[in-house]
Chains A and B, each alone.
Chain A
């Protein structure tokens, strides 16, 4: 078994997990719950093995670096982080319906990593600028943040879906219970959104700081308003505003759900848009 086989299996394992979670939601097939969780755990374990294998393989090739150095490797880690944080949330909130809105993100990330033609997937040596211990610290912290925001976005969609339904129910006085009514209470989704945003925000802050310290050891400037830095700051502003609006002005529910979605758009742009649409110092990601 080599890393690309293991990571190949991972794509389909996440696809299977996504289908199972969506089935639980749509067909109210609660019996599938344990299976879905087990498939996700298995997918995550296979992926962990794949990442470790890729790390080992890079040493065998004589390059020796953590598999976090380019677009492909970061997408794989992104999916990995989404899966583990999701499993933790599922265990904490004791609710598997969240999976239908979150696990597909892990699948999409893996599928995009594996099938896109925009970047290569081979193990490449590190260019001089990336040869630093900060590589692991910076990338890991940022991507745990991004993964949390992806989950918050999924929960945001879930909230809005449920909220629309509740509104319709109030207006039309519908009585029959539909699919969406099986979703967790709005209050609980709101709490989950808030918690994932907070978690992501702490990691993103740490990631930006780690990046700044790294930039200072490599170039002698901790902040140079490079597009990647600027966009990470914009994302930070979006979530900082959301947290202030909630703490000080009592925003919750629908508005925070929309900010969770908007914030993730900013994350995507920071991650993907800057690499492929803008140019700057931080061009490793698009390799």
Chain B
């Protein structure tokens, strides 16, 4: 026995609850550091904030990127090892209780139970047994029976499986860790800035060397729109995206912050935007033909742009602004070959009707934006979610469900039969006492037993 214990010194260390409490406490305490000291800033920033020496110490201890540091990872590994071994260690005992043969429980144990009561029966042992089974059945307790030396023992239980709730919660945490690991090993985070009207088939890794990752398809940004509330607060960032392969459009979606695009195991999130300096997006509609065309104009590097189908030439010749709301005004030169060209000022994002001899046009000019997309591939995320669901269910089982057991021993002594009714619950003793009280009442009032209470 002692030999076995000594041999398992490592096992026992990892199986201890003291270690679990220590690890939980250490994880909590060290986690605070990363919330106070800014993470993943430039080295010079730390020197500026804390001075040369402290910054150097931070760097050595990876405190500037502590949640990915070797020592924090070591703590997490210690935590999961402890959790695994604790769970394995306790599983056999829990399983024994779940599958226990409660009809072989020693009678002396029943007689000592805290919740118990004895009833006298006016009928013989066999009839009493039938009555017990009937009363318990009516109260929702399906009883099994076995003949014992002392009499007939009836037993019924509910929620034996709920004892596995602890295992479920511990497993759920490990499942979440496995999911996170799968994501780390087989997934990536990347980003790309995609100007309106352009396409890409590569994105760039968010961490490390920002190396390019081929998508295996083409992603195009048709348009980016941002809108504001009348208070000036941003209301929506929207990118119209199209996925294509070999020149064939496969999927189009307009994405906003909480509604990403999913394709080919990748998810594209709306993350940021940027106005491209010197470039403008114009949309021009011809009233007579109904034709509509998008253009990307440049200023000051380009004079005028041609729309051959409508024989229109137009361009930006001057810019004013921005005003207090960060909006610009553009001076437009416009010609459609009929009459002299028009020049006029228009506001950003404000459609303007251009009246020309013989035809009218509608023009809207705004900055050309590049949409900032965040790309994630995380094959582990579903494992994480399964772990999360397991955790919630497990916690509900642990805290709000209990294992309730009820025994009834029917015995005969000198021609008089009696019933010992007793029970236990591993949790919610108060609730269980109520169940037992109503069962006592069922026994006391039963016509089959014609019985009276006996203390």
Contacts and interface: CB of A to CB of B under 8 A. Distances in A.
B388 A217 contact: no
Interface in A63-89: 63
Majority secondary structure of chain A interface residues (helix, strand, loop or mixed): helix
Nearest to A248: B17
A206 B271 contact: no
A216 B262 CA distance: 13
B236 interface: yes
Contacts of B234: 127-128
A278 B35 CA distance: 7
B385 A225 contact: no
Interface string A133-151: 0100000000000000000
Given A231-B35, A234-B32, A240-B24, A128 B237 contact: yes
Interface string A191-221: 0000000110110011001001100111111
Contacts of B392: 202, 205-206, 209
B384 A222 contact: yes
B67 A225 contact: yes
Interface residues of A, number: 44
B269 A220 contact: yes
Contacts of A91: none
A279 B34 CA distance: 12
A234 B35 CA distance: 11
A145 B259 CA distance: 28
Nearest to B388: A209
Interface in A217-236: 217-223, 225, 227, 230-231, 233-234
A3 B134 CA distance: 58
A52 interface: no
A231 B32 CA distance: 7
Contact of A220 (B32, B67, B231, B375): B375
B31 to A, nearest CB: 5
A218 B233 contact: no
Given A202-B399, A217-B258, A274 B35 contact: yes
Contacts of A249: 17, 21
A216 B269 CA distance: 10
Interface in B21-47: 21, 24-25, 27-28, 31-32, 34-36, 38-39
A227 B37 CA distance: 10
A217 B260 contact: yes
A222 to B, nearest CB: 6
A202 B395 contact: yes
A221 B189 contact: yes
A164 interface: no
A198 B402 CA distance: 14
6 contacts: A131-B256, A201-B395, A227-B34, A237-B25, A279-B38, A280-B35
Q: Which 8 A-B pairs have the closest CB atoms?
A: A220-B376, A237-B28, A227-B35, A132-B258, A128-B257, A225-B67, A209-B388, A125-B229
